[in-house]
Structure 1
Amino acid sequence: MLSQENSPNMPAPPLSPPPSSLSAEINAATRQPHTTLNRFLTSRLPLALPPISSSPRLYTHGLTHFAHIYLTIESLLSDLSDLSTPRNPSLSLLLSSPDTTPPRPALLSLLSTLLPPGLPRSTRLKQDLAQLYGLSDVDLAAHLSHFPGEVVQDFAAHLTATAQARPHVLLAYAWVLYMALFSGGRWIRAQLASAPREFWLSAPPASSSRDRRRRADASQQDSINNLDATPEVPLRFFNFEGEADGEDVKAEFKAGFAAADMVLTQAERRDVIGEALSIFAFSIRVVEELDCLLATPKHIVVPMKGGVDLTIVFHER
């Protein structure tokens, strides 16, 4: 006779949550590369700001590199959100393909709702970059159709290929990239916001003569249409709407992310944690690529008031 707990008529017991959350495991596994990346960014940020820089050219290059990663992940998550729509033709096509295994329903639901309203950055990134480069939306799209460096191209290709094969790894990108906005991103924003308005509204990076003519035409038209308009400082990427300054969005994101603890298998959790390490490794390589492209010095001496010079040393691995 079967015992009650082994009876085939009894429902399966609910999954027990893992001993530690996925977010905590990601943080623990990436602590060392996280520290390295923070050192890289904090030591180089002064290069892009007054008094060392007189224009946001260097910041624009750095933002463009990392913008490609945010744009890629949000495009992939948007595709999954479309798949989750009932009777969506794309879903029917995907299910009919013998070579593709779509995410199981619980995982698809988690990923398609992972970014709460107010968190996606694509629109804000494009607005900032259009202003920084002095390009129209059409010209910016053409500009972003090319990668600014080989490492960024490899990073985006790796992200796309890995997410298509194992969609659950998008959880790693979401946690690492968006939580960064609420931690180190707050500090970076404060440093950027300390630069005077004149710095942000200076001439954009050099480009083709055709782009310069288009910018001049657009600027002239803007001056006609918006005589009293005050240009916004291009820090939309780091800012959030509402009085909570994004803390409400952060809380909603973390609450939704916590559902992963009940959805992922142990093998999938290992994939996510392993991919988080890859994100930091790629991000460090992106900074190194920027160093090469922008000829970052080993150190720089900044004259200070009182006749005392400040020496800034840029960290290396």
Structure 2
Amino acid sequence: MPAKTGETDRPLSVLINTATRSVHTKLNKLVVSRLSLALPPKAEDASNYVSGLLHITPIYMAFESLWRKILQSGVTVEEEDGPDDADSCDVCGPETAQSEPADLQTLRDILRIPHPLTVDPRTRSLLTNLNLPGLTRSQELQNDIVSLTGWSNRTVTEHLGDAAESPVLSEFLRHIKHSAETRPHVLTAYAWVLYLALFSGGRIIRATLQSVDPDFWVPASAAHHPSASGTGPGVATAAVGGGPLHFFSFASTPDDGEELKTTFKQRLVESEALLTGAEREDVVQEARDIFAFMVRLVTELDDVCGTGESDASHMVRLRSRDSLVVEKERRALARLARKVAEEAERDAGR
């Protein structure tokens, strides 16, 4: 879609927000409605929430891994992932692949690029300037999955691989790979959409997750058979300590990531002059595509989880819950819906 007259003078962030306002609002509404089905009082355990994480994690892994590969341009995939490094992965080096829950064989196959990664100096400068390791979420998402399930790293790998083969998600991953190979500057859109979301609606969602009864997050294996868990008794402790919130938190920073957010926005303003007019249009269109894929992914998750906007009757009740707790959580979810809607309106006006 060609840029309108005068749009070349507008900040790229404003162009993205304006172009995605409608679909962003639609996605927010979908996320809030489905989140209510994954939490008490409509859910008795975190299985649907875990299903959501299993489908979100590969997206972050894909664009973060490809971004890193581009910054390492000139190193062939054979040198990174050759026969001698069969146990390495796209998210961690060979020295950590066996100890971290990121040893992803299926996703590595999707993300493998069979030629040297080279980009022009402008794109390298752009992606280097916008690369803030503190923002990356791949490992944090996997940590949440481990905390919620008590699964071993190998089991996490298997389930992420299965999720990555679902129709919409696999199409999205192939799209990310193709975009990064052919138009690497569009990775800017992924950082803007998928990182900054954690500082707006993500903060509200986090507060809602923190308000849930801590026992809800404890996996059965940790609650009743700690020794059977691949991660041991620490899983239950992590869950009780406020929920599985690595994804939504930036605990390694003194201000919970606020400086990271400010720095990223500032660097985008400073770096967007490196983009041509056509490349700016590419970034805006990629942002539209990201939101469109995310909307489709929610629909796919409805099929996986058997959920819909108004259908939670099929969910198995695994525990009885106090009626006062249930009512408190119902009101909290209603407040969440209102807050996310208000935040979306503020974002659209920025």
When normalised by structure 1's length, the TM-score is: 0.76
User: 2 CA distance for matches of 1:227 and 1:103?
Assistant: 42
Give the count of matched residue pairs: 273
Does the 8 A contact of 1:128 with 1:235 survive in 2?
yes
| 1:55 aligned onto 2:45 | yes
Q: Do 1:18 and 1:261's aligned partners in 2 also have CA atoms closer than 8 Å?
A: no
Letter in 2 for 1:199: F
Larger radius of gyration: 1
Matched residue, 1:208: none
Q: Distance in 2 between matches of 1:284 and 1:139?
A: 27
User: Within the alignment, does 1:171 sit opposite 2:188 as a pair?
Assistant: yes
Q: Distance in 2 between matches of 1:215 and 1:228?
A: 12
**2:81 equivalent to 1:81:** no
Q: Which one-letter code corresponds to 2:26 in the other structure?
A: T
Secondary structure in structure 2 of the residue aligned to 1:35: helix
Query: Percent identical across equivalent pairs?
Result: 39
Say if 1:81 and 1:113, in contact at 8 Å, map to a contact too: no
Gaps in structure 1 of 5+ consecutive residues: 1-16, 94-98, 205-212
> Which letter does structure 2 place at the counterpart of 1:145?
G
Match runs of 1:1-317 below 5 Å: 18-83=8-73, 89-90=75-76, 102-146=118-162, 147=164, 149-203=166-220, 216=228, 218=230, 222-223=232-233, 232=241, 233-241=243-251, 242-299=253-310
Question: Structure 1 residue 122: deviation in Å?
Answer: 1.2
The answer on whether the counterparts of 1:116 and 1:253 sit within 8 Å (CA) in structure 2 is: yes
Give how far 1:127 is off: 0.9
Paired with 1:71 and 1:301, the residues of 2 have a C-alpha distance of: 30
* Residue 39 to residue 217, structure 1, CA distance change in 2 (3 Å): closer
Distance 2:202 2:235 in 1: 34
Q: CA contact under 8 A between 1:168 and 1:272: conserved in structure 2?
A: yes
Q: Residue 252 and residue 133 in structure 1: after superposition, are their counterparts in 2 closer, same or farther (change >3 A)?
A: same
Q: Which amino acid aligns with 2:245?
A: L
Q: 1:295 offset after TM fit, Å?
A: 1.6
In the alignment, is the contact (CA less than 8 A) between 2:151 and 2:229 conserved in 1?
no
**Cα deviation, residue 297, structure 1:** 3.9
C-alpha distance in 2 between matches for 1:230 and 1:283: 29
User: How far off is 1:304 after superposition?
Assistant: 7.0
SS of the residue 1:102 aligns to: coil
* In 2, Cα distance between equivalents of 1:227 and 1:57: 16
Query: Normalization by structure 2: what TM-score?
Result: 0.70
Rounded to whole Å, the distance in 1 between the matches of 2:237 and 2:145 is 19
What 5-or-longer segments of structure 2 have no aligned partner?
1-6, 80-114, 314-321, 338-350
- Assess if the C-alpha contact under 8 Å between 1:77 and 1:112 holds in 2: no
RMSD: 3.3
Inter-partner Cα distance in structure 2 for 1:200 and 1:140? 17
Assess, with a 3 A threshold, how the Cα gap between structure 1 residues 71 and 299 changes in structure 2: closer, same or farther.
same
> Using the alignment, how far apart are the partners of 2:176 and 2:246 within structure 1?
25
C-alpha change, 1:229 and 1:134, in structure 2 (3 Å) is closer
Superposed displacement of residue 110, structure 1: 1.8
The answer to whether the 8 Å contact 1:151/1:285 transfers is yes
Distance 1:228 1:279, change over 3 A: closer
**Separation in 1, partners of 2:235, 2:70:** 43
Letter in 2 for 1:192: L
- Cα gap change, 1:217 to 1:198, in 2 (>3 Å): closer
Counterparts of 1:148 and 1:56, CA distance in 2: 22
Q: Cα deviations across residues 49-95 of structure 1 (Å, max 9, x unaligned)?
A: 11111111111101111111111011011102222xxxx5449x9xx
Change (3 A) 1:297 1:145: closer
- In 2, Cα distance between the equivalents of 1:251 and 1:216? 43
Distance 1:125 1:215 in 2: 23
For 1:129, the aligned partner's letter is: I
Tell me how far apart the structure 2 counterparts of residues 274 and 235 of structure 1 sit (CA, whole Å): 31
1:54 aligned counterpart, secondary structure: coil
* Distance (whole Å) between structure 1 residues aligned to residue 131 and residue 64 of structure 2: 9
Superposition deviation, residue 214 in structure 1: 11
